[in-house]
Structure formats: C-alpha cells, structure tokens
Amino acid sequence: MKVVEFFSGFLTVELQLLYEENGQTHAIASVPFEFYDCAITTFCSECAGNKYSCKWCLHSNQCIDEEQTCSISDGITTRTSCPLIRTTEEVLIPSGQSQELQFEGINLPNNTFQFSCQIQYTGLKRLIIAASIVDDRIRCEDNMYNYSSTVESISGSVVIFWGNFPIDMEGNLTGHVSGGTRIAINGYNLGFVPSDITTVSAAGISCTDSEYNSPQLVYCTTRSILQILSGKVVVQFSNNQLLPALSEQTFSYVRPTVLSVYPTRGPRSGGTRLVIRGTKLDSGLTQTVMMSTAPCVPGDGYSCKIEE
C-alpha cells in the first residue's frame, strides 16, 4: 500500500494484490482507496459539494458526513449555496470617529442567531462588536476606532461570526493537573446574568467553579484530573438557541517536573541561591517554591533565594 495523494482531512492510497515468484514481487491488480474526515474542513466552499458528499451546517459552521444531521437545519450540499461576504470597495474609517460598518452578503443565515464582527488592526487587541443583518447586508454597530501611528493609514481585518462566538483566554494557557488554575475568559455577549451560563469547561473537563463578571468576562477554576489533556475552553448557555462559545486557543493540563536543583547544599543561615530546572515549571498563574519548611523567594527565571 502506498500513498497516492494527501491533503488536509483526506488521504488516497493504492491497494495492490501482489504475488512473489523467485524472490521477485509482482502486482496482479491495484485499486485506489480513499479515507476522509469531513470535520477537518473549516470552510463551506471546501466542504459542500465535494466528492465525499460532505455537507456544511450553516448555524454551527461545521462540516459533517452525509450520514450525520445538522442540529438546526438541513446541511448545505452545493458551493453556490454557501454564505459569502462581498467586498467590492475599500472601507475607510477616520481615526477618532464613530462609524458603522456594512458589508453585502449572500446566502446569509437569518437573524434567529446572534452576529458579531471581529475587528483587528495594528496595535489593537481583537475587538468584537455586535452585528445584525438588514436587507442582505451585515451591519457592524457604531464603534469609535482610534490608532496612533507615524504613518498616514493602517490596514485592518474584519471577520463575521454567527452562532458560536469565539472567546479568548488571558495569561498562561497551561495549568497543573491537580487543578486550581483560574482562567480569565474574554468574549462578547457571554450572558447578562450569571444564570445565563450553565457550564464552563476546559479540554472537556468542567470547571469546579465559574464566576460571571460581565458579558465580556467570565472566570473558570480548573478541577483535578488524572491525565495530561489539551483542548478548547467552552462556555455553555442556558438559552438553547445560543451555540456554545469556543476558544480559539488551546488550554493544557500539565504535570510540572523538577529535573535538577543546584547547589544541593547550603548554610543553615540561609542566603543560598538555588537554580531549579525542569519542564512545564511556568504552568498556572503563579509559582511558589518551598524547601522543606523554609520559604524560597523567587528570583529571575526559576532561581530563588532561601531565607532562614
């Protein structure tokens, strides 16, 4: 068997029927055999209408196998039915002024689901603002855009989301398998009261505690697990019309390991500076070093000074 063709989510191999005679191998027949995974595809235009009969779920933005069903409506099976944003001209935004952005679209979902515009330009962390559809046009709500630069103009990007909005995590994206790591989750429209959120999970493991701060900020405290895991952070809502909010980054449960400590001895009066080396020592939000019952004050990197 040899690989004939490979691209993301799809693999074609050649299966051969062979026989051996006098130490030599001969092929009697061969046939191509294809393996595929629709879920790997992330764009409707690549999913709908391909030769593997994959279909696109419009509201959840997922590519699924023909034997599966979309949770809200029938799947899209032709490329011409895929949603498309048309940008025929450059959008100019004066700095320091409030402006609404509009884009023409075709095959867009209706206003049953919430929409948002993700806007990013030089020097600005991703900005997510509310959006709506009016007469086949996407309207990003009024917002004031500011930038400081030595050049006359800068370029930015706009991404339209509906259904499941993306979320960001602040700080370290790893936590100890013993749990207790507090994750700060930033997003848009993460509920208006604490009861709007049912569960928050990290890598498929529900948090021991979630703290609602605002529609843009939620905290989650990880629980203890047995194995090392990595995965998305997911916020589930009590309103079943809202799809879960998924993080673009990956959170990892890790098991930090100390490999060496130097020097291995020092005076009881204290003052010895230790250099601790290992793996995943930067997990969690803070790091504390203890030597038996003596506290160790962290210094640069993973060095510390033992105090009496």
* pLDDT tens column, 43-98: 888 889 888 888 998 877 788 888 888 877 778 999 999 988 877 677 888 888 88
Confidence (pLDDT) at 111: 66
Asked whether the predicted pLDDT for residue 9 surpasses 70, the reply is no
Does residue 248 sit in the same domain as residue 176?
yes
Q: Is 127 helix (H, G, I), strand (E, B) or coil?
A: strand
CATH number at residue 231: 2.60.40.10
Confidence (pLDDT) at 10: 66
How does DSSP classify residue 74? P
Q: Which of 3-17, 26-40, 74-88, 215-229 has the lowest mean pLDDT?
A: 3-17
Does residue 287 sit in the same domain as residue 276?
yes
Name the one residue in this structure whose structure tokens are 């529609």: 215
**Number of domains comprising the chain:** 4
Asked whether the predicted pLDDT for residue 141 surpasses 60, the reply is yes
State pLDDT tens for residues 234-279.
Answer: 898 887 656 788 887 889 999 988 888 888 887 777 777 778 888 8
Does residue 174 sit in the same domain as residue 132?
no
How does DSSP classify residue 40? G
Confidence (pLDDT) at 125: 58
CATH number at residue 89: 2.60.40
Sequence-separated (6 or more) residues with CB below 8 Å from residue 135: none
Confidence (pLDDT) at 254: 92
Domain that holds residue 11: 2-81
Does residue 250 sit in the same domain as residue 267?
no
Cβ neighbourhood burial of 246 (10 Å; 0-12, 13-18, 19+): middle
Rounded mean pLDDT of 171-179?
A: 86
Does residue 6 sit in the same domain as residue 76?
yes
Rounded mean pLDDT of 182-200?
A: 85
Q: What percent of the chain has pLDDT over 70?
A: 86
**The tokens of 305 are what?**
């000074």
Does residue 154 sit in the same domain as residue 179?
no
How does DSSP classify residue 34? E
**The tokens of 10 are what?**
């799809």
Q: What mean pLDDT, rounded, does the chain reach?
A: 80
Q: How confident is the model at residue 5 (pLDDT cuts 50, 70, 90)?
A: very low
Does residue 181 sit in the same domain as residue 243?
yes
**The tokens of 63 are what?**
């590519």
Does residue 229 sit in the same domain as residue 283?
no
State pLDDT tens for residues 144-155.
Answer: 887 777 788 888
* Domain end residue (candidates: 162, 187, 207): 162
* Domain end residue (candidates: 162, 186, 210): 162
* Domain end residue (candidates: 81, 101, 125): 81
Does residue 178 sit in the same domain as residue 158?
no
Output the CA torsion sign for 294, 296, 302, 303: negative
Q: What's the 3-state SS for 1-28?
A: CEEEEEECCEEEEEEEEEEEECCEEEEE
Does residue 101 sit in the same domain as residue 129?
yes
Does residue 38 sit in the same domain as residue 108?
no
Does residue 267 sit in the same domain as residue 246?
no
Gap between the Cα atoms of 59 and 69, Å rounded: 12
Please give the helix or strand (H or E) that residue 95 lies within, else none: none
